[in-house]
Amino acid sequence: MKSRWAMAVLGDKSIPLEILMVKAVYPGTFDPVTYGHMDLIERGALLFDELIVGVAVNPAKTPVFSPDERVEMIRAQVDGRLDNVRVEFFSGLVVNFARDKKAFTILRGLRTVSDFEYEFQMALTNRAFAADVETLFVMPSLKYSYISSRLIKESVIMGADVSHMLPPEVEKALRKKLGLN
């Protein structure tokens, strides 16, 4: 098990605490998976003994790729490279998915202030449903902080070069799905 040390402040005393970082889920639609997503997956793989990437169905979104395609695209990026990362499809509440997997931490990325507002509201809503599941926010690397799947899809449609935002196989699949090959 991986462990980290933190200092807890109790009254006027600081006490070192060992924090066990056992298992977490990193949920998202990943339509498509970007270098920004991969940055967070790699960070999560360092933080936790096991990271489960949960490819979600979001009824508010209309994905380009099917759930199976999204799972396979991420697996192609992690298999043989990140041995403690699993990729699975799920539907329903992320807190239920986390509990089913016996993971009590949800890993989320924060790029901007607007991300914070959305993610803060989501974390509090998740806490209302499952007080035993904690949300951990991680900042992406600066070079990926502006990347979003939605903007990438729009950019590809308008003819932009997005090779610095997506793994090559993912970019090829996206162009094919959008009829741009």
Q: Residue 119 belongs to what H/E stretch?
A: helix 113-129
The residue extents of the domains of the chain are: 23-177
177 is a catalytic site residue: no
Catalytic position from the list 43, 108, 149, 153? 149
CB contact set of 40 (below 8 Å; sequence gap of 6+): 26, 107, 109, 138, 140
pLDDT of 82 strictly over 90:
yes
Catalytic position from the list 2, 61, 164, 172? 61
Strand-strand pairing, 85-90 and 3-10 = unpaired
CA–CA separation, 35 vs 106, rounded Å? 20
pLDDT of residue 59: 85
70 is a catalytic site residue: no
DSSP 3-state of 72? helix
pLDDT, averaged across the chain: 90
pLDDT of 139 strictly over 80:
yes
Mean pLDDT of 19-28: 85
Architecture of the structural domain at 23-177 = 3-Layer(aba) Sandwich (3.40)
Distance, first Cα to last Cα, the chain: 46
pLDDT of 93 strictly over 70:
yes
75 is a catalytic site residue: no
CA–CA separation, 23 vs 14, rounded Å? 27
176 is a catalytic site residue: no
Looking up tokens 């799920």 gives 90
127 versus 181: which is more confidently predicted? 127
Catalytic position from the list 75, 86, 111, 127? 111
